[in-house]
Protein backbone atom coordinates (compact mmCIF):
# COMPACT_ATOMS: atom_id res chain seq x y z
CA UNK A 1 0.00 0.00 0.00
CA UNK A 2 1.44 3.35 -0.97
CA UNK A 3 0.79 6.03 1.59
CA UNK A 4 0.69 9.58 0.34
CA UNK A 5 1.01 11.81 3.30
CA UNK A 6 -0.34 15.21 4.07
CA UNK A 7 3.07 16.67 4.84
CA UNK A 8 1.92 19.50 7.05
CA UNK A 9 0.03 17.13 9.34
CA UNK A 10 3.03 14.94 9.86
CA UNK A 11 5.37 17.84 10.54
CA UNK A 12 2.96 19.29 13.07
CA UNK A 13 2.32 16.21 15.12
CA UNK A 14 5.49 14.21 14.65
CA UNK A 15 3.29 11.20 14.05
CA UNK A 16 4.63 8.66 11.62
CA UNK A 17 1.85 6.86 9.86
CA UNK A 18 2.61 4.85 6.78
CA UNK A 19 6.37 5.24 7.00
CA UNK A 20 8.08 1.89 7.11
CA UNK A 21 11.53 0.49 7.52
CA UNK A 22 11.60 -1.58 4.34
CA UNK A 23 13.44 -4.85 4.06
CA UNK A 24 14.00 -6.37 0.63
CA UNK A 25 14.21 -10.15 0.71
CA UNK A 26 14.06 -12.16 -2.52
CA UNK A 27 12.25 -9.38 -4.34
CA UNK A 28 9.53 -9.06 -1.70
CA UNK A 29 9.27 -5.98 0.47
CA UNK A 30 8.75 -6.43 4.20
CA UNK A 31 7.92 -3.92 6.89
CA UNK A 32 11.00 -4.37 9.07
CA UNK A 33 9.77 -2.60 12.20
CA UNK A 34 6.79 -4.96 12.43
CA UNK A 35 9.06 -7.99 12.15
CA UNK A 36 11.49 -6.76 14.79
CA UNK A 37 8.81 -6.14 17.41
CA UNK A 38 6.76 -9.26 16.64
CA UNK A 39 9.85 -11.47 16.76
CA UNK A 40 10.65 -9.87 20.10
CA UNK A 41 7.14 -10.69 21.34
CA UNK A 42 7.36 -14.28 20.08
CA UNK A 43 10.75 -14.68 21.76
CA UNK A 44 9.39 -13.28 25.03
CA UNK A 45 6.39 -15.63 24.99
CA UNK A 46 8.61 -18.62 24.18
CA UNK A 47 11.05 -17.84 26.99
CA UNK A 48 8.24 -17.30 29.51
CA UNK A 49 6.49 -20.54 28.62
CA UNK A 50 9.74 -22.56 28.58
CA UNK A 51 10.79 -21.18 31.96
CA UNK A 52 7.30 -21.70 33.36
CA UNK A 53 7.14 -25.36 32.32
CA UNK A 54 10.76 -26.44 32.72
CA UNK A 55 10.59 -27.46 36.37
CA UNK A 56 7.01 -28.56 37.01
CA UNK A 57 5.97 -29.26 40.59
CA UNK A 58 2.76 -30.65 42.04
CA UNK A 59 2.39 -27.56 44.19
CA UNK A 60 3.03 -24.73 41.72
CA UNK A 61 5.16 -21.80 42.72
CA UNK A 62 6.53 -18.69 41.06
CA UNK A 63 6.35 -18.61 37.28
CA UNK A 64 4.52 -21.92 37.07
CA UNK A 65 1.65 -20.37 39.02
CA UNK A 66 1.41 -17.56 36.49
CA UNK A 67 1.53 -19.93 33.51
CA UNK A 68 -1.19 -22.12 35.00
CA UNK A 69 -3.38 -19.08 35.50
CA UNK A 70 -2.77 -17.93 31.93
CA UNK A 71 -3.55 -21.39 30.55
CA UNK A 72 -6.77 -21.60 32.54
CA UNK A 73 -7.78 -18.12 31.41
CA UNK A 74 -7.23 -18.81 27.70
CA UNK A 75 -8.91 -22.22 27.99
CA UNK A 76 -11.82 -20.38 29.62
CA UNK A 77 -12.17 -18.11 26.59
CA UNK A 78 -12.42 -21.13 24.29
CA UNK A 79 -14.74 -23.02 26.64
CA UNK A 80 -17.18 -20.13 27.05
CA UNK A 81 -17.69 -19.89 23.29
CA UNK A 82 -17.49 -23.51 22.14
CA UNK A 83 -19.09 -25.34 25.00
CA UNK A 84 -17.83 -28.15 27.16
CA UNK A 85 -17.46 -30.72 24.38
CA UNK A 86 -14.86 -30.24 21.70
CA UNK A 87 -13.21 -27.04 22.87
CA UNK A 88 -9.94 -28.74 23.80
CA UNK A 89 -8.31 -28.93 20.33
CA UNK A 90 -8.82 -25.18 19.87
CA UNK A 91 -7.41 -23.98 23.17
CA UNK A 92 -3.92 -23.66 21.71
CA UNK A 93 -5.12 -21.64 18.70
CA UNK A 94 -7.28 -19.25 20.70
CA UNK A 95 -4.67 -18.98 23.44
CA UNK A 96 -1.92 -18.20 20.94
CA UNK A 97 -4.04 -15.51 19.32
CA UNK A 98 -4.81 -13.94 22.70
CA UNK A 99 -1.24 -14.01 23.99
CA UNK A 100 0.33 -12.82 20.75
CA UNK A 101 -2.07 -9.91 20.33
CA UNK A 102 -1.80 -8.96 23.99
CA UNK A 103 1.98 -9.14 23.76
CA UNK A 104 2.04 -7.03 20.60
CA UNK A 105 -0.30 -4.38 22.00
CA UNK A 106 1.51 -4.11 25.30
CA UNK A 107 4.93 -4.19 23.67
CA UNK A 108 3.89 -1.11 21.72
CA UNK A 109 2.48 0.64 24.78
CA UNK A 110 4.89 -0.27 27.56
CA UNK A 111 8.36 -0.43 26.00
CA UNK A 112 10.06 2.88 25.10
CA UNK A 113 10.90 1.96 21.52
CA UNK A 114 11.58 5.62 20.69
CA UNK A 115 15.02 5.22 22.26
CA UNK A 116 16.02 2.97 19.36
CA UNK A 117 16.46 4.91 16.15
CA UNK A 118 15.57 3.29 12.86
CA UNK A 119 16.67 4.66 9.47
CA UNK A 120 13.01 5.11 8.56
CA UNK A 121 9.74 4.54 10.35
CA UNK A 122 9.62 3.74 14.05
CA UNK A 123 9.26 0.70 16.28
CA UNK A 124 5.74 0.39 17.65
CA UNK A 125 3.05 -2.21 18.25
CA UNK A 126 3.03 -4.65 15.30
CA UNK A 127 -0.76 -4.55 15.39
CA UNK A 128 -0.80 -0.92 14.25
CA UNK A 129 0.12 -2.19 10.78
CA UNK A 130 -2.96 -3.38 8.90
CA UNK A 131 -0.98 -6.22 7.31
CA UNK A 132 -0.51 -7.88 10.71
CA UNK A 133 -4.18 -7.68 11.69
CA UNK A 134 -5.39 -8.83 8.26
CA UNK A 135 -3.06 -11.82 8.51
CA UNK A 136 -4.42 -12.72 11.95
CA UNK A 137 -8.00 -12.31 10.75
CA UNK A 138 -7.40 -14.48 7.66
CA UNK A 139 -5.84 -17.20 9.81
CA UNK A 140 -9.01 -17.10 11.90
CA UNK A 141 -11.14 -17.41 8.75
CA UNK A 142 -9.23 -20.46 7.56
CA UNK A 143 -9.41 -21.92 11.05
CA UNK A 144 -13.19 -21.85 11.22
CA UNK A 145 -13.57 -23.22 7.70
CA UNK A 146 -11.18 -26.02 8.66
CA UNK A 147 -13.08 -26.66 11.88
CA UNK A 148 -16.43 -26.90 10.10
CA UNK A 149 -15.24 -29.02 7.15
CA UNK A 150 -13.22 -31.26 9.43
CA UNK A 151 -16.25 -31.99 11.57
CA UNK A 152 -19.07 -32.20 9.02
CA UNK A 153 -17.37 -32.73 5.68
CA UNK A 154 -19.08 -31.03 2.74
CA UNK A 155 -22.26 -30.94 4.79
CA UNK A 156 -20.73 -27.85 6.40
CA UNK A 157 -21.81 -25.79 3.40
CA UNK A 158 -25.43 -26.62 4.10
CA UNK A 159 -25.41 -23.90 6.70
CA UNK A 160 -25.39 -21.31 3.90
CA UNK A 161 -28.94 -22.38 3.09
CA UNK A 162 -30.17 -22.00 6.64
CA UNK A 163 -32.59 -20.83 7.89
CA UNK A 164 -33.90 -20.24 4.33
CA UNK A 165 -32.14 -20.34 0.93
CA UNK A 166 -33.17 -16.69 0.44
CA UNK A 167 -30.40 -15.68 2.86
CA UNK A 168 -27.68 -17.34 0.75
CA UNK A 169 -26.07 -14.03 -0.42
CA UNK A 170 -26.06 -12.64 3.12
CA UNK A 171 -24.49 -15.83 4.46
CA UNK A 172 -21.74 -15.73 1.84
CA UNK A 173 -21.17 -12.03 2.47
CA UNK A 174 -20.74 -12.79 6.16
CA UNK A 175 -17.62 -14.82 5.43
CA UNK A 176 -16.04 -11.68 3.97
CA UNK A 177 -17.24 -9.22 6.58
CA UNK A 178 -15.96 -11.36 9.47
CA UNK A 179 -12.23 -10.99 8.69
CA UNK A 180 -12.80 -7.39 7.58
CA UNK A 181 -14.37 -6.34 10.87
CA UNK A 182 -11.90 -8.38 12.94
CA UNK A 183 -8.88 -6.78 11.30
CA UNK A 184 -10.25 -3.21 11.18
CA UNK A 185 -11.32 -3.32 14.82
CA UNK A 186 -7.90 -4.30 16.09
CA UNK A 187 -5.97 -2.08 13.69
CA UNK A 188 -8.13 0.97 14.29
CA UNK A 189 -8.09 0.67 18.05
CA UNK A 190 -4.34 0.32 18.35
CA UNK A 191 -3.51 2.99 15.79
CA UNK A 192 -6.06 5.38 17.29
CA UNK A 193 -4.55 4.86 20.71
CA UNK A 194 -1.02 5.58 19.53
CA UNK A 195 -2.16 8.63 17.56
CA UNK A 196 -4.05 10.04 20.54
CA UNK A 197 -1.03 9.62 22.78
CA UNK A 198 1.37 11.20 20.32
CA UNK A 199 -0.93 14.15 19.59
CA UNK A 200 -1.33 14.74 23.34
CA UNK A 201 2.42 14.46 23.85
CA UNK A 202 2.88 17.08 21.17
CA UNK A 203 0.48 19.45 22.98
CA UNK A 204 1.55 18.80 26.60
CA UNK A 205 4.68 16.69 26.96
CA UNK A 206 4.39 15.91 30.67
CA UNK A 207 1.85 14.18 32.93
CA UNK A 208 -1.31 15.01 30.95
CA UNK A 209 -0.94 12.07 28.50
CA UNK A 210 -0.47 9.58 31.35
CA UNK A 211 -4.16 8.75 31.99
CA UNK A 212 -4.66 8.27 28.24
CA UNK A 213 -1.68 5.91 28.17
CA UNK A 214 -3.14 3.88 31.04
CA UNK A 215 -6.46 3.81 29.21
CA UNK A 216 -4.58 2.61 26.14
CA UNK A 217 -2.97 -0.27 28.02
CA UNK A 218 -6.40 -1.26 29.35
CA UNK A 219 -8.11 -0.91 25.97
CA UNK A 220 -5.48 -2.94 24.18
CA UNK A 221 -5.88 -5.85 26.60
CA UNK A 222 -9.63 -5.70 26.00
CA UNK A 223 -8.99 -5.77 22.24
CA UNK A 224 -6.88 -8.90 22.59
CA UNK A 225 -9.67 -10.49 24.62
CA UNK A 226 -12.26 -9.51 22.03
CA UNK A 227 -10.25 -10.80 19.09
CA UNK A 228 -9.75 -14.20 20.69
CA UNK A 229 -13.34 -14.37 21.98
CA UNK A 230 -14.66 -13.66 18.49
CA UNK A 231 -12.30 -16.17 16.90
CA UNK A 232 -13.50 -18.77 19.39
CA UNK A 233 -17.13 -17.80 18.73
CA UNK A 234 -16.72 -18.17 14.95
CA UNK A 235 -15.06 -21.57 15.35
CA UNK A 236 -17.74 -22.63 17.80
CA UNK A 237 -20.44 -21.54 15.34
CA UNK A 238 -18.84 -23.65 12.61
CA UNK A 239 -18.58 -26.64 14.94
CA UNK A 240 -22.11 -26.65 16.29
CA UNK A 241 -24.58 -28.90 14.53
CA UNK A 242 -27.86 -27.59 13.22
CA UNK B 1 -2.01 18.19 -4.23
CA UNK B 2 -5.17 19.91 -5.38
CA UNK B 3 -6.28 22.23 -2.58
CA UNK B 4 -9.97 21.48 -3.14
CA UNK B 5 -9.30 17.77 -2.72
CA UNK B 6 -7.30 18.26 0.46
CA UNK B 7 -9.93 20.58 1.94
CA UNK B 8 -12.69 18.11 1.11
CA UNK B 9 -10.65 15.25 2.57
CA UNK B 10 -10.08 17.03 5.85
CA UNK B 11 -13.75 17.95 6.19
CA UNK B 12 -14.78 14.41 5.29
CA UNK B 13 -12.34 12.98 7.83
CA UNK B 14 -13.84 15.12 10.58
CA UNK B 15 -17.37 14.24 9.56
CA UNK B 16 -16.69 10.53 9.33
CA UNK B 17 -15.45 10.29 12.91
CA UNK B 18 -18.06 12.69 14.23
CA UNK B 19 -21.02 10.97 12.60
CA UNK B 20 -19.71 7.51 13.42
CA UNK B 21 -19.49 8.50 17.08
CA UNK B 22 -23.21 9.37 17.44
CA UNK B 23 -24.77 5.92 17.24
CA UNK B 24 -22.25 4.04 19.39
CA UNK B 25 -22.38 6.91 21.90
CA UNK B 26 -26.10 6.44 22.37
CA UNK B 27 -25.69 2.67 22.46
CA UNK B 28 -22.91 2.75 25.03
CA UNK B 29 -24.91 5.11 27.20
CA UNK B 30 -27.88 2.75 27.12
CA UNK B 31 -25.74 -0.26 27.89
CA UNK B 32 -23.93 1.41 30.79
CA UNK B 33 -27.24 2.66 32.22
CA UNK B 34 -28.76 -0.79 32.09
CA UNK B 35 -25.65 -2.27 33.68
CA UNK B 36 -25.84 0.18 36.57
CA UNK B 37 -29.49 -0.73 37.02
CA UNK B 38 -28.57 -4.41 37.03
CA UNK B 39 -25.87 -3.87 39.64
CA UNK B 40 -28.25 -1.85 41.80
CA UNK B 41 -30.72 -4.72 41.72
CA UNK B 42 -28.21 -7.49 42.20
CA UNK B 43 -24.98 -6.21 43.72
CA UNK B 44 -23.61 -9.76 43.98
CA UNK B 45 -23.64 -10.07 40.16
CA UNK B 46 -21.38 -7.04 39.76
CA UNK B 47 -18.33 -8.89 38.45
CA UNK B 48 -20.24 -10.77 35.80
CA UNK B 49 -22.07 -7.64 34.68
CA UNK B 50 -18.83 -5.69 34.50
CA UNK B 51 -17.17 -8.27 32.26
CA UNK B 52 -20.10 -8.45 29.88
CA UNK B 53 -20.43 -4.66 29.84
CA UNK B 54 -16.77 -4.12 28.94
CA UNK B 55 -16.95 -6.66 26.15
CA UNK B 56 -20.09 -5.16 24.65
CA UNK B 57 -18.78 -1.61 25.02
CA UNK B 58 -15.74 -2.64 22.98
CA UNK B 59 -18.01 -4.06 20.29
CA UNK B 60 -19.88 -0.77 20.05
CA UNK B 61 -16.66 1.18 20.04
CA UNK B 62 -15.58 -0.81 16.99
CA UNK B 63 -18.27 1.00 14.96
CA UNK B 64 -16.68 4.36 15.71
CA UNK B 65 -13.31 2.85 14.89
CA UNK B 66 -14.55 2.04 11.38
CA UNK B 67 -15.25 5.75 10.93
CA UNK B 68 -11.81 6.48 12.32
CA UNK B 69 -10.17 4.11 9.84
CA UNK B 70 -11.93 5.95 7.01
CA UNK B 71 -10.74 9.27 8.44
CA UNK B 72 -7.17 8.05 8.82
CA UNK B 73 -7.06 6.69 5.30
CA UNK B 74 -8.35 10.05 4.03
CA UNK B 75 -5.64 11.91 5.94
CA UNK B 76 -2.64 9.63 5.55
CA UNK B 77 -3.39 7.37 2.60
CA UNK B 78 -5.65 9.49 0.45
CA UNK B 79 -6.48 7.60 -2.75
CA UNK B 80 -7.51 10.77 -4.61
CA UNK B 81 -4.10 12.41 -4.54
CA UNK B 82 -1.42 11.16 -6.81
Give mean pLDDT, residues A16-21.
69
CA angle B26, B29, B35 (to 5 degrees): 140
Which chain A residues are within 8 Å of B82, Cβ to Cβ?
4
Average pLDDT over chain B reads 88
Q: What is the pLDDT of residue B76?
A: 81
A103, pLDDT greater than 90: yes
* CA closest to A189 among chain B residues: B65
Tens digit of each residue's pLDDT (9 = 90 or more) over B13-67: 999 999 999 999 999 999 999 999 999 999 998 888 888 888 888 888 888 888 9
Q: What is the pLDDT of residue B1?
A: 65
Which chain B residues are within 8 Å of A5, Cβ to Cβ?
76
Write out the H or E segment, with its range, that includes residue A24: strand A22-25
- In angstroms, the separation between the Cα of residue A9 and the nearest Cα of chain B is 8
Is domain B23-76 in CATH 1.10.645.10, yes or no?
no
Q: What is the pLDDT of residue A242?
A: 55
Q: What is the pLDDT of residue A4?
A: 46
Contact B55 A6 (CB under 8 A): no
A12, pLDDT greater than 70: no
A11, pLDDT greater than 50: no
Q: Which of B13, B65, B70, B82 best tests the A interface by mutation, with the highest count of A CBs <10 A?
A: B65
B47 and A215 Cβ atoms separated by less than 8 Å: no
- In angstroms, the separation between the Cα of residue B40 and the nearest Cα of chain A is 25
- In angstroms, the separation between the Cα of residue B75 and the nearest Cα of chain A is 7
Tens digit of each residue's pLDDT (9 = 90 or more) over A60-100: 778 888 888 998 999 988 888 888 888 888 999 999 999 99
The sign one gets for the Cα dihedral A104, B53, B64, A179 is positive
Contact B58 A223 (CB under 8 A): yes
Q: What is the pLDDT of residue A192?
A: 84
Tens digit of each residue's pLDDT (9 = 90 or more) over A189-204: 888 888 888 888 888 8
Give mean pLDDT, residues A149-158.
86
Contact B72 A9 (CB under 8 A): no
* CA closest to B10 among chain A residues: A6
Q: What is the pLDDT of residue A43?
A: 94
Give mean pLDDT, residues A31-46.
89
pTM (2 decimals)? 0.82
Give the count of beta carbons closer than 10 Å to the beta carbon of residue B68. 24
DSSP-derived secondary structure letter, A197: H
CB crowding A90-108: b at 16 or more within 10 Å, else e: bbebbbebbbbbbbbbbbb
Q: Is A199 an 8 Å CB contact of chain B?
A: no
Among candidates A4, A17, A222 on the partner chain, residue whose Cβ is nearest the Cβ of B81: A4
Q: Is A222 an 8 Å CB contact of chain B?
A: yes
Tens digit of each residue's pLDDT (9 = 90 or more) over A165-218: 888 888 888 888 889 888 988 988 888 888 888 888 888 878 888 888 898 898
Q: What is the pLDDT of residue A17?
A: 65
d(CA B36, CA B50): 9
Contact A188 B62 (CB under 8 A): yes
Q: What is the pLDDT of residue A141?
A: 93
Average pLDDT over chain A reads 83
Which chain B residues are within 8 Å of A223, Cβ to Cβ?
58
Which chain A residues are within 8 Å of B71, Cβ to Cβ?
none
Q: What is the pLDDT of residue A25?
A: 78
Contact B77 A191 (CB under 8 A): no
- In angstroms, the separation between the Cα of residue A184 and the nearest Cα of chain B is 7
A20, pLDDT greater than 80: no
A40, pLDDT greater than 60: yes
Give mean pLDDT, residues A108-131.
80
> Considering only CB atoms, which residues of chain B are within 8 Å of chain A?
1, 6, 9, 54-55, 58-59, 61-62, 65-66, 68-69, 72, 75-78, 81-82
Q: What is the pLDDT of residue A197?
A: 85
Q: How far apart are the first and last CA of chain A?
A: 41
* CA closest to B81 among chain A residues: A4
For chain B, what is the total number of helices (H) and then of strands (E)? 2, 0
Amino acid sequence: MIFNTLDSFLLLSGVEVGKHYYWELAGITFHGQVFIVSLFVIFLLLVLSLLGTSNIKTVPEGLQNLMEYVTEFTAGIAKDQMGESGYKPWVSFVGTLFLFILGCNWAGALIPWKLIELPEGELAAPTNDINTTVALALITSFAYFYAGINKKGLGYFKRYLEPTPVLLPINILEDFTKPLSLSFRLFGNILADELTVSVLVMLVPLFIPLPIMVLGVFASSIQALIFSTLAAAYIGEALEGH
Amino acid sequence: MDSIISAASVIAAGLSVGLAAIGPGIGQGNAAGQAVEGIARQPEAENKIRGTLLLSLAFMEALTIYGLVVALSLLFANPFTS
